[in-house]
Structure 1
Amino acid sequence: MAKYIAKSLLQMIPVLLFISLIVFVLVRVTGDPVALMLPETATDEDRAILTKELGLDQPLYRQYALFLANAVRGDFGTSFHYNQSALPLVLERLPASFELAVAAMILAVVIAVPAGIWSAVKRNTFADLFISGISVLGKAMPNFWMGIMLILFFSVIFRMFPVSGRGGIEHLILPALTLGVGLSAQMTRLIRSNMLEILNQDYIRTARSKGIFETIVIGKHALRNGLIPVVTIMSLQFTSLIGGTLITETVFAWPGLGQLLVAAVNTHDMAIVQAAVFVIAIFVMVMNLLTDIIYRLLDPRIKYS
């Protein structure tokens, strides 16, 4: 396992190099960085000075080499909108997105695991049909609509929770619920289908024939084997929550990475875009590695060579 982890860490290097090349190219095809950073009243002399400072007067391969050398040091440029180094700004917003993603994922797991198990155990009953119907409805509702409805009912009408911002637990409930509902709907359907398949396996029938309590059969034997696909979905969704909760963070004015990225794109602040893309890419790769480790913990039969 240690060799696999070391090999995976080494494989991250060429992936990051490829990502750096993509970011470098995209920054240059989106427009002239000098024109984006300077005001319209800037003179030709100002443009020439900034072009030289940024190294844009050099050949492309030298520009890429300079960009790569700066990226290794964590220097992705200075945000002209905030007049600060881009990477610290991104890292400053990352805990807020992480907090929201963890809360949404916990809420989704708390809802989806018992609902999915109950739906599978009570197959083709009213409970199964009800849970399946709610899951379809929860998956069909867009996040922005869910967020607006939650604000309308729980913030405007009943005044139970704040409308926006980040603070105590009361600020976290509505945005976490907005993201968690859709996640729980998807996970519930996945857990149900996995449990239905596993409950028909021979080893489950053998465990039941030995007189083992049904809760132990479901919880220890069936659920553990059915969690591997769920862990995959959780990993993919969690990484998307870190960098992709743009709409939810905007609706609730949550000061996370998604809101910062939207503002950077709107203002053409490419230094922040570059830093955010690198941070998200590293986070995705680390999450994939952790997912592989969790696979091994759930099922010792899985071997990595």
Structure 2
Amino acid sequence: MGLFLLKRLAQIIPVLLIISFIVFALVFIAGNPVALMLPDDASQEDIAQLTASLGLDKPFIVQYGHYLLNLIQGDFGESFRYSTSALPLVLERLPATLELAIAAMIIAVTVAIPLGIWSATQQNTPLDLLASGGAVLGKAMPNFWLGIMLILLFSVTLGWLPVSGRGTFAHLLLPAITLATGIAAEITRLLRSNMIEILNQDYIRTAKSKGIRNLFVVYKHAFRNSLIPLITITALQTSTVVGGTLITETVFSWPGLGQLLIQAVNTRDMAIVQACVFVIAILVILMNLLADILYRLLDPRIKYD
């Protein structure tokens, strides 16, 4: 296990290098942001001078080399919009995004696990069709549309919850539900299919023939053996959560990484874009590593050679 962790940690370095290259290349292709940093009446001489001072007139590989050296030191450059270092600003917004993501995952898992188990044990009944149809609908609804509908219903029409912002549990509820809906639908569908397959296994029928209570068989044997694929899909949903925050935070004016990244892209604030993407990549990598560790804890038969 220790050797496996060391190997996985070593693999993170080339992955981050590849990510840094892709992000820098996309930023380079996006064009020169100097025109946005100067007033509209700036002369060509002013533009050329600022471009040279920022090193944007050098070849791509030279610019990437400077970027990589600064990256090793934790320096993503300075945001021209906020006039401050990009990384501290991104880290300042990170807790808001983590709060929203964790709340969404808690809601999704809390709803999806009982619904998936219940749907599997009531297979092909009207209740199962209702749960399965709800999962398909939840997966099909776009986050931005669902968020707007929730705002219109619970904030504008009923006046129960605030429209936007962050601060209280009431502010968190609508964006968390918006983000959790698609994730809960995906987990429900996977858990239902896995539970149906496991409930048809021989050892489940043997346990039932011994007179063991059905509730014990379902939760002790079937659900326990569904935990590994459940952890897999939950870990994979990390990227979905992060991607969903980009839209959800914008709809609800939630002051997290998603809103910051969207604003940075619109203003071509490349230092912020690079820092945001890099931090998000690290979060996704760490979640995948955590999933691998949980596999080993849940099933000792899994070996990492």
TM-score, normalising length: structure 2? 0.94
Q: Is the 8 A contact 1:112 1:187 kept in 2?
A: yes
What count of residue pairs does the alignment treat as equivalent? 305
Q: Is the 8 A contact 2:105 2:180 kept in 1?
A: yes
- Give the corresponding residue for 1:68: 68
- Give the corresponding residue for 1:207: 207
1:88 is aligned to 2:88: yes
Q: How much does 1:225 deviate?
A: 1.2
Q: Is the 8 A contact 1:242 1:257 kept in 2?
A: no
Q: Distance in 1 between matches of 2:123 and 2:247?
A: 36
Q: Distance in 1 between matches of 2:105 and 2:188?
A: 13
Q: How much does 1:136 deviate?
A: 1.8
1:159 is aligned to 2:159: yes
Decide which moves more: 130-139 or 47-56. 47-56
- Give the corresponding residue for 1:219: 219
Decide which moves more: 167-176 or 145-154. 145-154
Q: Distance in 2 between matches of 1:75 and 1:49?
A: 23
Report the RMSD for the aligned CA atoms in angstroms. 1.6
Q: Is the 8 A contact 2:23 2:274 kept in 1?
A: yes
Q: Is the 8 A contact 1:37 1:80 kept in 2?
A: yes
Q: Distance in 1 between matches of 2:239 and 2:60?
A: 32
Q: Distance in 1 between matches of 2:198 and 2:45?
A: 71
Q: Deviations over 1:226-272 (max 9, x none)?
A: 12222122112123323442221111111111111111111111111
Q: Distance in 2 between matches of 1:139 and 1:58?
A: 46
TM-score, normalising length: structure 1? 0.94
Counting only pairs closer than 5 Å after superposition, residues 187-266 of structure 1 correspond to structure 2 as 187-266=187-266
Q: How much does 1:49 deviate?
A: 4.1
- Give the corresponding residue for 1:28: 28
**Percent identical:** 66
Q: Deviations over 1:120-167 (max 9, x none)?
A: 111111221121122222222222221112111211122111110001
| SS of residue matched to 1:255 | coil
Q: Deviations over 1:166-185 (max 9, x none)?
A: 01111111111111122212
Decide which moves more: 12-21 or 137-146. 137-146
Q: Deviations over 1:9-29 (max 9, x none)?
A: 111111111112222222221
| SS of residue matched to 1:81 | coil
Q: Is the 8 A contact 1:98 1:242 kept in 2?
A: no
Q: How much does 1:290 deviate?
A: 0.6
Decide which moves more: 130-139 or 83-92. 130-139
Q: How much does 1:2 deviate?
A: 1.0
Q: Is the 8 A contact 1:143 1:247 kept in 2?
A: yes
- Give the corresponding residue for 1:130: 130
Q: Distance in 1 between matches of 2:136 and 2:42?
A: 55
- Give the corresponding residue for 1:142: 142
| SS of residue matched to 1:245 | helix
Structure 2 segments unaligned to the other structure (5+ residues): none
Q: Is the 8 A contact 1:107 1:180 kept in 2?
A: yes
Q: Distance in 2 between matches of 1:274 and 1:2?
A: 32
Q: Distance in 2 between matches of 1:290 and 1:250?
A: 29
- Give the corresponding residue for 1:110: 110
Structure 1 segments unaligned to the other structure (5+ residues): none
